[in-house]
Amino acid sequence: MPTPTKGPRLGGGPAHERLMLANLAAALFEHKRITTTVTKAKRLKPYAERLVTFAKRGDLASRRRVLGLISNKGIVHELFTDIATAVENRDGGYTRITKIGNRKGDNAPMAVIELVLEPVSAKQAVVAEATTAAKRDADKKEAAAAAPAADEAAEAEVVETEAPAAEEAAEAKYAGSKPATADNVAPEGFAVKGNEDSMKFHVPGSRWYDSTTAEVWFDSAESAAAAGFAPAGGDAAQAVEAE
């Protein structure tokens, strides 16, 4: 958690403050905008943006770290799929605070904190594209300068090392499944992605298929359902497998 500002904490103590921030972040990710006091909004901003940064990484360690703070798997899944995809081109500034005046009764200053999900401006996109192109050109020049013989020897060694490893892979955990692959490429005949954190499965062509990292591969939606996995977004969202 970010270092708190000077002065009294929120709530009655450190543990209470952590729970308050986690609940506020969960509500923000679920509803995309919430109304709260200015003090809570300012404390929530760095906390929520750090969780978005974990979601943009998208690996299993980051997902488990966020699940340690937000226990609702549905909200965490939405954070890692919808929200992370919407802000993938942003380098920061994932939230916005707008003051809306004082609250009736105790006269506390209020604010709306919301996620910034709008596409980046054209100027920012051009700068990002130019930076990516420059890095790509530099990588090509560096690769061309390397000795071809060394490259061929390295490739041969990788092939010889990976072939036995593939044959000695661990047995499937579920019927009709294969373990996750390091490059997230579907094994032949196993195209359905399973996510063991959310216990959801995604068929090719479904809404979150491309942005989901498979933790286990299934040969069909029926095999995934038999293993206890549920269709992500419901049966209608996963009804495209036949195509």
Long-range contact pairs involving 28-31 (C-beta distance under 8 Å, separation at least 24) = 28/95, 28/113, 28/114, 28/115, 29/70, 29/75, 29/78, 29/79, 29/83, 29/115, 30/72, 30/75, 30/78
Q: How far apart are the first and last CA of the chain?
A: 45
Domain end among 115, 136, 164: 115
CATH code, domain with 36: 3.90.1030.10
Domain end among 62, 90, 115: 115
Same domain, 21 and 109: yes
Residue 5 lies in a domain: no
Mean of pLDDT over the chain: 82
How many domains, the chain?
A: 2
Mean pLDDT of 86-94: 89
Would the pLDDT of 170 be above 50?
Answer: no
Same domain, 23 and 97: yes
Cα angle for residues 36, 4, 78 (degrees, 5° grid): 55
pTM confidence score: 0.49
Residue 241 lies in a domain: no
d(C-alpha 86, C-alpha 150), whole Å: 41
Domain containing 221: what range?
Answer: 177-231
Would the pLDDT of 165 be above 50?
Answer: no
Domain end among 91, 115, 139: 115
